Amino acid sequence: AQKITQTQPGMFVQEKEAVTLDCTYDTSDPSYGLFWYKQPSSGEMIFLIYQGSYDQQNATEGRYSLNFQKARKSANLVISASQLGDSAMYFCAMREGRGNAGNMLTFGGGTRLMVKP
């Protein structure tokens, strides 16, 4: 079974609007971390936001927020006020176990976001 599923291969959003990128995960480990990365056409993976499985509040970083629904095993990324520079591939990833046991991440297949002017 896929550990990380991103069901939206491509998304369009109008500049200045908000957009939600979906991510569901599968793990039986009670301790895990969820990450979102942005990959522009240059190829570098840029860390955006992190949510720990025991965190009580949804993570936020500037225009990025993570809608964490633990019971549904979903960790959707919300980008507010989209900008043209947000056009990129977005990857959801999971680390199973505690961070001090190794930080190997499993990535989803990605969603390509295109921001329209």
Partner 1 sequence: DTGVSQDPRHKITKRGQNVTFRCDPISEHNRLYWYRQTLGQGPEFLTYFQNEAQLEKSRLLSDRFSAERPKGSFSTLEIQRTEQGDSAMYLCASSFWQGGGELFFGEGSRLTVL
Query: Of how many residues is the chain composed?
Result: 117
Taking the least distance from each CB to partner 1, the nearer of 74 and 109 is: 109
Q: Tell me: does residue 25 bind partner 1 (CB under 8 A).
A: no
User: Are 79 and 38 within 8 A, CB to CB?
Assistant: no
Of 53, 58, 59, 44, the closest CA to residue 91 belongs to 44
Q: Tell me: does residue 88 bind partner 1 (CB under 8 A).
A: no
Given 14, 18, 26, 47, the residue binding partner 1 (CB under 8 A): 47
- How far the first Cα of the chain sits from its last, in Å, is 38
Taking the least distance from each CB to partner 1, the nearer of 32 and 82 is: 32
Taking the least distance from each CB to partner 1, the nearer of 14 and 54 is: 54
Residue with structure tokens 């998304």?
11
Q: Which residues are at the interface with partner 1 (CB under 8 A)?
A: 4, 33, 35, 37, 42-47, 50, 52, 91, 93, 95, 99-100, 102-110
